[in-house]
């Protein structure tokens, strides 16, 4: 990759580690795209072009599969302890390089530096967790009910995996897939989002340093993800697709994978309800709302998208949240004092503005924010809306930005009905001092993950994933994450 010569000396220092990478990472080598084309990387805080990375072609994708297939047997046969030690070393190196990697994320993604630091810590944990899981993959042994034979079940790596990750968490979404795949004994081709490719390439160099053999992890960026992905899925050596992104794109990938009967893991869109009951601890609920809504400036699939607040606490909660949101420091992601950085693109800002204007036109009232910021950068201010009607578009579509729509409800049944009134089912939040109520409501909400009196739920040790249109399969958790990259082989034995 070539870093733009006109970036500041301060920002140039952030690339000291990242510049070890020089192009597509295929078979342990750095190379340009086969036709020499590149993709420009833009800093969303300034709209300046900060780098250019190779734009992979179909030929480059084929080369990546060749490399992964060539490395597959060797990695599959690598002893679990050795794989574990390599994954552990990846964790250690990410800790050592945490500040440089966080700065790189802030620069290409725009997220506040404090959020980027949190992401690196979270991303590294997937290597530590899966280093421990790599040596605990075991089979099964039992007697058939008839007594005629023994049943042996062996769990084997599924094979070459194509991993597709989004721009909002360029480190964590990659390590959440790569770490369990490598623990299982699979080789991978990672296609990161073209908006934030620098982190993926910097991490590829780190994996190499940690001892990951050539071809086990391959990384390519492309401006034509549809044709490139379709070509990879059509290769019979590819046996797994793991995707994180929008439900719309996920549906298209599922259709493509179905042509070749490829195993799929899908972490798709969300529309998380954040429910606050009258008996909730107000300050705790506000603390949780700020985390659930403003982590990564709202650009998260688990972000609180609909805030349902019971009538008795509604006004106090609305006032408290508005004060906190209005006080956030909006600025360039890499600045230490920034609490809310820019959105990823101008298109993202325009979408948020469209959703806010629609809600206001339908009767919602703006408590703070609510207008596109002027000047350079893709900024949208932290915004709170009250009296948001159920027919507002933002009640049914991911906002993916720093906008908190508040809606009043009267009783528990209404809250549950409102929460489930969506095609999505990824995450949900509940605040109440009544544990029995919290557990009762959690059991009735159609969501893969629930945070009860917490504003954060993601954990490498817990299964991450959704129901309904929010996806298939789970990432992370005890055995869940690794299991997605393995297949069960049954052997009937007469002894």
Catalytic residues: 267, 301
Q: Which residues contact 155 (CB under 8 A, 6 or more apart)?
A: 137, 138, 139, 483, 486, 487, 488, 489
Which tokens belong to 288?
């949780």
User: Computed from CA positions of residues 412, 418, 423, 424, in that sequence, does the dihedral angle turn out positive or negative?
Assistant: negative
By the 8 A CB rule, do 178 and 188 touch?
yes
By the 8 A CB rule, do 474 and 463 touch?
yes
Specify the residue for token string 């939040």. Answer: 429
């Amino acid at each position: 990759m070539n870093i733009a010569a006109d970036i500041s000396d301060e920002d140039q220092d952030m690339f000291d580690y990242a510049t070890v990478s020089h192009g597509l990472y295929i078979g342990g080598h750095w190379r340009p795209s086969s036709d020499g084309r590149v993709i420009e990387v833009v800093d969303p805080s300034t709209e300046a072009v900060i780098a250019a990375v190779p734009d992979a072609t179909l030929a480059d994708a084929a080369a990546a599969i060749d490399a992964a297939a060539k490395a597959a047997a060797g990695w599959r046969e690598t002893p679990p302890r050795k794989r574990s030690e390599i994954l552990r070393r990846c964790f250690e190196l990410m800790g050592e390089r945490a500040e440089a990697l966080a700065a790189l994320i802030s620069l290409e993604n725009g997220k506040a530096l404090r959020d980027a630091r949190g992401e690196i810590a979270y991303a590294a944990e997937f290597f530590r967790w899966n280093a421990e899981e790599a040596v605990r993959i075991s089979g099964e042994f039992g007697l058939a009910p008839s007594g005629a034979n023994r049943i042996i079940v062996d769990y084997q790596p599924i094979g070459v995996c194509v991993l597709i990750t989004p721009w909002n968490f360029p480190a964590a979404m990659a390590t959440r897939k790569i770490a369990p795949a490598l623990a299982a004994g699979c080789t991978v081709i990672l296609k990161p989002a073209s908006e934030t490719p620098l982190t993926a390439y910097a991490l590829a160099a780190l994996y190499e340093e940690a001892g990951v053999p050539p071809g086990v992890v391959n990384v390519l960026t492309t401006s034509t993800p549809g044709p490139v992905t379709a070509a990879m899925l059509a290769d019979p050596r590819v046996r797994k697709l793991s995707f994180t992104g929008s439900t719309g794109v996920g549906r298209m990938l599922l259709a493509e994978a179905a042509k070749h009967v490829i195993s799929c893991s899908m972490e798709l869109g969300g529309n998380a309800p954040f429910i606050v009951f009258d008996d909730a601890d107000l300050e705790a609920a506000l603390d949780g709302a700020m985390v659930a809504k403003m982590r990564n400036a709202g650009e998260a699939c688990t972000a609180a998208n609909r805030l349902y607040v019971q009538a008795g606490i509604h006004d106090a909660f609305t006032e408290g949240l508005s004060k906190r949101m209005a006080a956030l420091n909006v600025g360039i992601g890499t600045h230490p004092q920034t609490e809310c950085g820019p959105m990823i693109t101008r298109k993202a800002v325009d979408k948020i503005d469209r959703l806010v204007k629609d809600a206001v036109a339908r009767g919602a009232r703006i408590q703070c924010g609510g207008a596109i910021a002027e000047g350079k950068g893709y900024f949208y201010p932290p915004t709170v809306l009250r009296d948001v009607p159920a027919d507002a578009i933002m009640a049914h579509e991911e906002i993916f930005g720093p906008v908190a729509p508040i809606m009043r409800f009267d009783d528990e049944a209404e809250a549950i009905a409102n929460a489930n009134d969506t095609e999505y089912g990824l995450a949900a939040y509940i605040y109440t001092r009544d544990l029995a109520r919290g557990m009762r409501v959690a059991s009735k909400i159609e969501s893969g993950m629930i945070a009860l009196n917490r504003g954060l739920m993601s954990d490498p040790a817990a299964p991450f994933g959704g129901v309904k249109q929010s996806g298939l399969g789970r990432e992370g958790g005890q055995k869940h994450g690794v299991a997605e990259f393995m297949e069960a082989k049954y052997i009937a034995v007469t002894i």
